[in-house]
Amino acid sequence: MAISTAPSKKSIPVFSGGNWTELKSNRSGDVFNPSTGQVIARVSFATAEETGQVVEAAAAALPVWAATPVVDRARLMFRFRALLEKNFEELAALVTREHGKTLAEARAEVNRGIEVVEFACGIPGLIAGDVLPNIAADVDAEAVRHPVGVCVGITPYNFPFMVPLWMFPIALTCGNTFVLKPSEKVPLSSVRLGELLAEAGLPAGVFNIVHGDRECVDALLDHPKVAAISFVGSTTIAKYIYERGTAAGKRVQSAGGAKNHLVIMPDADLDQTVKQLAASAYGCAGQRCMAGSVAVTVGKAADPVVEGLVEYAGKFRVGPTDGNEEVDMGPVIRAEHRDKVASYLDIAQSDGASIALDGRRDFKSAGFLLGPSVVDRVTPSMRVWKEEIFGPVLSVVRAADLDEALATGDLCEYGNGAVIFTRSGYAARQFKQHFNAGMIGINVGVPAPMAWFPFTGWNRSFFGDLHIQGTESIQFYTRQKVTLTRWPKADDSHLDPVWRQNRT
């Protein structure tokens, strides 16, 4: 079997109908290594016409793939999983190179992605339908799941490997074909995923990759042969994708931004809590949709938490991550993003907050580095509380009691994750029941569900009905058909009477 390998990664090709091809478009973007600030590749942006051709390739591959037994589709995922394991270190290094997260964080990301493939391997046991014999006299009812058709995934920069894997292994194993539009900031991991799928033996056209910006995305949203769209990114774009995609008659699941609250009760184990707060807020340089962004201290927890954070995070080794494991925190994705994140420290100060730890330093590196920051005495009217910063800045809000801490969730337009640190079962139960967010952690700093559970963002963190991951995603990527059957007793008078008699 010929293995399909992308020709040149300096200039990043699209993958359409099993072929890697360069785009002719004259619009393009740079791909950086955030550790060095160097441009490592260039990605052309597909025109609407070029995007349409990729969708047509996926549509052409659909009938044969949809008719392939689900067990064979799952077997392909087993082969794909083996290749991901075999290339594990190379994949993690690639994530670090184009994204900038530490190698340890990149390895964790690759593991989380592989778990989704493991879930997809089990789809034959999950996709079976329902039967109710004799639902009416002599009538049997059955409901079975069919693929929806050509599915599209549009993904963000912060998990170049894992977020595409949230989508296509499940869509493909359910019998759909797929077009992936990765973030133009981090397209290299997706190209590698396409190569490994081809190496696993996926037929041409079943999985395709197109690169681009709004023109490409709009062409996907409007294309009549696209049946379903999965999106992950910022809230403004998530809402746009949901509205335009559903207006065009497609099913859409659209995950947006976040502002995750971490409540610290005075009875929490403060040493452990400070470490978990720092890991939550500064892991992946704060560029996670489940990153802790607002620490809500209750009562006398405030001072020790702020002092502990300043001491602990103040010692973080911040530096280039590519080829360097001696680092606690890496760069952010772009110089402009670093400057935007840093500008929130000035905004916080002018709004009346105090900077307990300032991550702005002279790093003497061309990488996009910014150290961890702690902003204390933040109040609801301040922009650092309301807006998603998506960088290593943790705001501290001081609440008097648990009720006041719970109320902070109602002031937040997002609703991804929320965490409580406590030794009290009562406080934990109140929090779980009443905090206004869809993914709850109890003494777990980043309560991101693993592949077997849905990623249940609430409020403006999610637009749609069926979430990404878990069995909800099987529902999203399939449509049901219900058949009612009646077989009347045959008129068998023409049969041999002796045989008829023996038969009964």
Nearer to ligand NAD, 44 or 158 (CB): 158
Q: Is residue 51 near ligand NAD by the rule CB under 6 A?
A: no
Give the binding-site size for ligand NAD (rule: CB under 6 A). Answer: 28
Residues across the chain: 504
Out of 94, 210, 228, 289, name the contact with ligand NAD by CB under 6 A.
289
- Which residues lie closer than 8 Å to 55 by C-beta, 6 or more apart? 150, 152, 179, 219, 220, 223, 225, 226
Out of 190, 456, 461, 478, name the contact with ligand NAD by CB under 6 A.
461
Nearer to ligand NAD, 182 or 367 (CB): 182
Out of 19, 21, 234, 349, name the contact with ligand NAD by CB under 6 A.
234
CB 333, min distance to ligand NAD, A: 8
Long-range contacts: 274-278, Cβ < 8 Å, 24+? Answer: 274/305, 274/308, 274/309, 274/312, 275/312, 276/421, 276/443, 276/444, 276/445, 277/305, 277/309, 277/394, 277/421, 277/445, 278/309, 278/312, 278/313, 278/316, 278/372
- Which residues lie closer than 8 Å to 277 by C-beta, 6 or more apart? 262, 264, 292, 295, 305, 309, 394, 421, 445
Nearer to ligand NAD, 65 or 242 (CB): 242
Rounded Cα gap, residues 504 and 497, in angstroms: 11
Rounded Cα gap, residues 106 and 301, in angstroms: 33
Rounded Cα gap, residues 485 and 260, in angstroms: 51
Return the residue matching tokens 């998990």. 159
Rounded Cα gap, residues 71 and 471, in angstroms: 17
Q: Is residue 154 near ligand NAD by the rule CB under 6 A?
A: yes
Q: Is residue 65 near ligand NAD by the rule CB under 6 A?
A: no
Q: Is residue 466 near ligand NAD by the rule CB under 6 A?
A: no
Q: Sketch the per residue contact string, 181 through 210, with ligand NAD: x for CB under 6 A, - otherwise.
A: x-xx--------------------------
User: Active site includes 289?
Assistant: yes
Q: Is residue 292 near ligand NAD by the rule CB under 6 A?
A: no
Q: Is residue 260 near ligand NAD by the rule CB under 6 A?
A: no
Out of 457, 463, 464, 478, name the contact with ligand NAD by CB under 6 A.
457
CB 111, min distance to ligand NAD, A: 17
Q: Is residue 109 near ligand NAD by the rule CB under 6 A?
A: no
End-to-end CA distance of the chain: 55
Nearer to ligand NAD, 175 or 415 (CB): 415
DSSP per residue, 455-483: ----GGGEESSSPSSHHHHHHHTEEEEEE
Q: Is residue 391 near ligand NAD by the rule CB under 6 A?
A: no
CB 381, min distance to ligand NAD, A: 22
Under the rule (CB under 6 A), what is the footprint of ligand NAD?
154-159, 163, 181, 183-184, 213-214, 217, 232-234, 237, 255-258, 289, 388, 390, 416, 455, 457, 461
Known catalytic residues are 289
